[in-house]
Structure 1
Amino acid sequence: MSSFLPLTIRFVHGGTMVVSSIADAKKALGGTWKDKDSPAYLKAARLVDDAANGICRPAIAFAAFKKAATEQGLLQPAEPSAALDMLDQLSSRNGKGPPR
């Protein structure tokens, strides 16, 4: 199964989980959510199952999972990666080039 950029989910009762695959998303959907009857949650659960069974593109299922987690306030903000920090530093040099 495809791997995705990791998402950190904080469940209603305080536990956290890093989700970076369809298998992880399926496991996370079994955790404690605010509303397992919400349309976004139900759609995500269906699409994640479909992706696990090979009848849905994993990227679509993962996007639905992310949307459901975001709507319920479970998605934790990601910290910038070290590579992004390096890029920010390089771009702030105003075109002066690399240090010598």
Structure 2
Amino acid sequence: MSIFLPLNIRFVDGTTMVVSSIADAQKALACQWRNKEAATYNEAARLLSAAKEGVCKPAVAFAVFENAAQTQGLLQPAKPSSALGLLDDITLPLAT
């Protein structure tokens, strides 16, 4: 199990990928992005490599990757989990 919440990415060519680790994020960088020359993309690539080498905290590198995907419009909204729906159903009577 990953320490990161999964990100749903839809690339320019229409393919999708779920990214939930540093290795997944590095694979995602090899796919089709809108602009691989963008500063956010290059920073994500640099920090993901540094995290893999143990020089950067993985959480920081993953957050920068998420920001790069968001900036380029590749990040897809996550669907709420079914567990949250069950929790809402259970707690709704308590709120009234």
The alignment's TM-score, normalised by the length of structure 2, stands at: 0.92
CA deviations 1:4-42 (Å, max 9, x no partner) are: 111110000000000000000000011100001111111
* C-alpha distance in 2 between matches for 1:87 and 1:29: 36
Residue 4 (structure 2) aligns with = 4
* C-alpha distance in 1 between matches for 2:33 and 2:14: 11
Deviation at 1:90, TM superposition (A): 2.4
Unaligned runs of 5+ in 2: none
The share of aligned pairs that are identical, in percent, is: 57
- After the TM superposition, which parts of structure 1 deviate over 4 Å for at least 4 consecutive aligned residues? none
Residue 74 (structure 2) aligns with = 74
* C-alpha distance in 2 between matches for 1:88 and 1:42: 41
Residue 28 (structure 1) aligns with = 28
Alignment: residue pair count: 95
* C-alpha distance in 2 between matches for 1:22 and 1:65: 9
Deviation at 1:92, TM superposition (A): 1.8
* C-alpha distance in 2 between matches for 1:72 and 1:5: 19
Residue 19 (structure 2) aligns with = 19
The structure with the larger Rg is: 1
Q: Which has the higher strand share?
A: 1
The alignment's TM-score, normalised by the length of structure 1, stands at: 0.88
